[in-house]
């Protein structure tokens, strides 16, 4: 059985990263110019990494599937970014941010990684301000903060409801500068379709390049480099309906996985509590309403079942139900955190109420998020200033005015904590292959806190990878630039073309989307918010059927060597099916409830998640064993040396 070395540096928690940096190997400027790095993805992680590596002097090749790096889905993050600046003097510190993140992750993340994340968080804010990111400010001219779920301090920096956009545009501008300076070469509308491994003279396989499809011409092209960095985001779209962008996919991760990189904790998917509810079977995606709404909105369902029934039948309006008949269930169950409990807790609580029949829309799958109280307390103008754009967005979608009637929300798949396994250096189990941002598994454990995704993506890209990758590349300075005519590239391209050919030749009757929806239903119904042994076994069987349908009944019009959107989607869907299976296997294996993973067999009498630290305090790393085979499980034990592992308590 393979062993796992996470390469965590020795020493006290607070000194690990400092020690690492002090003793790591570096590459001198003259050698940097001779080293090529491929960065796939241009989101917060990818763009910040490509820009930082370019600024250091490496030659970077940067890829994205969209028409511009600025479109990456990081752009859609609304609420904010955490940092332990303690500008509010409310008792924040690096340790507290670390502690909140570890606790929020339900004690399933690596202490050393999370501490490092908290440590570099402050530099991210400095960096972004220097780039001209227009964060919200107080009248005194200093930066403003807001509070977010899972924390008792105000440490979230924000730029209206468009923080992700502004941070991404900051990283994109830094990237643009490096393109201008000739350090980064940009490949837009290119999709990575395989990672190419080449054996070195000692027989060690190293990531040495990628194959990418030019999405405009449909041609497969080869790219070689000394190291490959994957920053391609998460795989939430396995569920078809999610808050992710339509193009978000887990394909790069699956390509790495099939080449031997471990896939870690795939079952940890975050369900975001505040999304606009599903309205019909033609829907293509779910729209997130920022978590920041929970600062001022109060979540409730009716206390009386007959009121709920009347709401579902459209016989009553929410405004008809008096305050004393409203059940503010989060405030009731979690008095200390109230409406600001972490996302997994809020989502499950909503599901619990809806399962009990208290859902408030025609499908019975929605709860209210009410601003009446905030408007009474602050006035409509203040509420409009804070959330105006979100309210407008809600009204456009639903045709309802949230100033007058409460919003309806329901949980939806939002973020995946699982991802490619990486060590402390962000290197996967394949040498020279790195994974950053949401694509890796490293920092959020079983649940991510709000405003921490932006923090992690930028931490990896700006301040972690540019250091750790040098520790690897310092050994590679003798390796000259190599040709893409190597037999390994030849073989990879041949295999890829065969794969595409196979899909094109199915010539069945079903469109990609129709099969993807089927996959989504299986995932949501059986690997969704509440999982059981039975549902997961069913899921695995059903996923086999989906796979069969895919290979027998798929129809892709057009040609492979041409712009072909359906082919792009088909290749991604093939990988989503694989990810779905991985998620089901992992969820089946993890016989406990923690964070975003809730096994109904494992809950307290009050319905709270029940962890089994004695058996499952590990990272589940899955190793590929061939198409259609069950993957092999390898465990990386999590040793909590610096924090006391506790049951999460948001009640008091």
Element (H, E) at 299: strand 298-302
Query: What is d(CA 368, CA 404) in angstroms, rounded to the nearest whole number?
Result: 13
Nearer to other proteins, 70 or 611 (CB): 70
Dihedral (Cα; 637, 261, 271, 596), 10-degree rounding = -10
* ∠ Cα 336 339 342 (to 5°): 80
CB 512 within 8 A of CB 573: yes
Structure tokens at 400: 């309802």
* ∠ Cα 249 491 189 (to 5°): 35
Of these residues, 343, 348, 531, 547, which one is catalytic? 343
Closest to 409 in 3D by CA, of 312, 272, 307: 272
Strands 184-187 and 59-63 turn out to be parallel
Is 343 annotated in the active site? yes
Nearer to other proteins, 48 or 429 (CB): 48
* ∠ Cα 97 387 170 (to 5°): 60
CB 431 within 8 A of CB 203: no
Query: What is d(CA 521, CA 310) in angstroms, rounded to the nearest whole number?
Result: 28
Find the radius of gyration of the CA atoms of the chain: 24
Q: Work out how close the CB of 487 gets to other proteins at its nearest, in angstroms, rounded to a whole number.
A: 34
Q: How far does the chain reach from its first CA to its final CA, in angstroms?
A: 44
Nearer to other proteins, 166 or 265 (CB): 166
Query: What is d(CA 46, CA 32) in angstroms, rounded to the nearest whole number?
Result: 19
Query: What is d(CA 422, CA 429) in angstroms, rounded to the nearest whole number?
Result: 7
Query: What is d(CA 124, CA 454) in angstroms, rounded to the nearest whole number?
Result: 10
Closest to 215 in 3D by CA, of 579, 575, 503, 566: 566
CB 208 within 8 A of CB 226: yes
Residues in the chain: 652
CB 407 within 8 A of CB 340: no
Residues 6+ apart with CB under 8 A from 388: none
Element (H, E) at 221: strand 220-224
Strand partners, 184: 60
Residues involved in catalysis: 343
């Amino acid at each position: 059985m393979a062993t796992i070395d996470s390469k965590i540096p020795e020493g006290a928690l607070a000194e690990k990263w400092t020690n690492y940096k002090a003793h790591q190997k570096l590459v001198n400027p003259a050698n940097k110019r001779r080293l090529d790095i491929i960065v796939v993805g241009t989101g917060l992680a990818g763009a910040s990494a490509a820009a930082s590596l370019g600024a250091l002097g490496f030659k970077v090749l940067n890829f994205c599937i969209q028409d511009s790096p600025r479109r990456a889905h990081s752009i859609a993050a609304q609420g904010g970014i955490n940092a332990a600046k303690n500008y509010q003097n409310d008792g924040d510190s690096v340790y507290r941010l670390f502690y909140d993140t570890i606790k929020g992750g339900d004690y399933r993340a690596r202490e050393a990684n999370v501490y490092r994340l908290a440590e570099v968080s402050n530099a991210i804010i400095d960096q972004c301000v220097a780039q001209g990111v227009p964060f919200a400010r107080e009248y005194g001219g200093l930066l403003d903060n807001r509070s977010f779920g899972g924390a008792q301090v105000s440490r979230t920096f924000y730029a209206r409801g468009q923080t992700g956009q502004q941070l991404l545009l900051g990283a994109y501008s830094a990237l643009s500068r490096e393109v201008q300076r000739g350090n980064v070469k940009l490949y837009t509308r290119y999709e990575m379709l395989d990672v190419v491994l080449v054996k070195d003279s000692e027989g060690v396989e190293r990531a040495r390049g990628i194959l990418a499809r030019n999405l405009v011409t449909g041609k497969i092209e080869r790219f070689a480099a000394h190291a490959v960095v994957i920053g391609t985001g998460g795989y939430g779209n396995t569920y078809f309906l999610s808050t992710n962008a339509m193009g978000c996919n887990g394909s790069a991760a699956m390509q790495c996985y099939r080449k031997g990189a471990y896939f870690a904790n795939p079952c940890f998917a975050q369900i975001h509590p505040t999304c606009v509810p599903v309205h019909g079977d033609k829907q293509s995606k779910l729209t997130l309403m920022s978590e920041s709404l929970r600062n001022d909105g109060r979540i409730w369902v009716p206390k009386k079942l007959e009121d709920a029934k009347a709401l579902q039948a459209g016989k009553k309006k929410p405004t008809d139900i008096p305050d004393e008949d409203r059940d503010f269930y989060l405030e009731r169950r979690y008095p200390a955190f109230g409406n600001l409990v972490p996302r997994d807790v809020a989502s499950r609580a909503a599901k619990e109420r809806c399962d009990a029949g208290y859902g408030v829309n025609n499908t019975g799958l929605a709860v209210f998020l009410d601003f009446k109280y905030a408007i009474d307390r602050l006035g409509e103008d203040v509420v409009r200033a804070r959330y105006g754009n979100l309210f407008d967005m809600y009204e456009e979608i639903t045709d309802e005015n949230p100033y007058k009637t409460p919003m309806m929300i329901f949980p939806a798949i939002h973020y995946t904590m699982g991802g490619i396994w990486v060590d402390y250096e962000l290197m996967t189990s394949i040498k020279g292959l790195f994974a950053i941002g949401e694509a890796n598994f490293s920092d959020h454990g079983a649940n991510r806190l709000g405003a921490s995704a932006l923090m992690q993506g930028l931490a990896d890209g700006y301040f972690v990878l540019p250091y750790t990758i040098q520790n690897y590349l310092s050994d590679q300075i003798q390796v000259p630039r190599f040709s893409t005519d190597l037999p390994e590239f030849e073989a990879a391209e041949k295999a890829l073309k065969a794969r595409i050919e196979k899909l094109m030749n199915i010539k069945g009757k079903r469109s990609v989307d129709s099969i993807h929806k089927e996959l989504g239903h299986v995932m949501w119904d059986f690997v969704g918010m509440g999982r059981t042994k039975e549902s997961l076994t069913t899921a695995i069987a059903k996923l086999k059927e989906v796979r069969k349908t895919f290979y027998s009944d798929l129809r892709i019009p057009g040609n492979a060597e041409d712009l072909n959107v359906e082919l792009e989607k088909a290749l991604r869907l093939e990988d989503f099916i694989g990810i779905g299976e991985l998620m089901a296997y992992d969820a089946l294996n993890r016989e406990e409830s923690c964070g975003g993973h809730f096994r109904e067999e494992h809950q307290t009498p009050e319905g709270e998640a029940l962890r089994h630290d004695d058996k499952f305090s590990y990272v589940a790393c899955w190793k590929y064993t061939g198409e259609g085979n069950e993957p092999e499980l390898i465990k990386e034990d999590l040793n909590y040396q610096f924090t006391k592992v506790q049951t999460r308590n948001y009640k008091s």
